[in-house]
Amino acid sequence: MTAIGRLYARLLTVSPAASTQQRDRLFGAADRIVRRDYATANLSLRAVAAELAISPRELQRAMRSAADTTFRDHVLEVRMVAARRLLQDGASSRQVASRVGYSSGAGFAKAFRRRYGAGPSAVRAASTGQP
């Protein structure tokens, strides 16, 4: 069990009245894992829940309660923010796709376009003056 998992196990011994606090802390722990591992293509709810020593369903409830989001949407947001920053720093779309956890450049470009309304190359060109 990881240090984060042990910490969460200790949090579970707190009174039931603290469940909102527990879910907030759990979301924080999950967020740290997502931000650490977002570049991993196979980052999953199951893997993060296992690292925290809880069920995937419990993690999903905590994410909904603490941040009104789902695991998938949170990972996507973390990846897209990192991708935009990398593009603005001049990285190519292909480099960014692999750095933020996409195995397919086309899949990355589609997700990026859906999130920002413009393709990765347009954001890169606008930021750096390079095509």
pLDDT in tens, 40-79: 988 999 999 999 999 999 999 999 989 999 999 999 999 9
Contact 84, 116 (CB under 8 A): yes
14 vs 47, residue with greater confidence: 47
Does residue 11 share a domain with residue 28? yes
What global pTM score does this model have?
Answer: 0.81
- Its domain, for residue 37, covers 3-69
**Given a cut of 50, is residue 17 above it in pLDDT?**
no
Q: Based on the structure, what is the number of domains in the chain?
A: 2
User: Distance between CA 38 and CA 99 in Å, rounded?
Assistant: 9
Does residue 82 share a domain with residue 48? no
For 131, residues 6+ apart whose C-beta sits below 8 A from its C-beta are 121, 125
Contact 48, 59 (CB under 8 A): yes
Does residue 83 share a domain with residue 65? no
Q: Which CATH number is 88's domain given?
A: 1.10.10
76-115: pLDDT as tens digits: 999 999 999 999 999 999 999 999 999 889 999 999 999 9
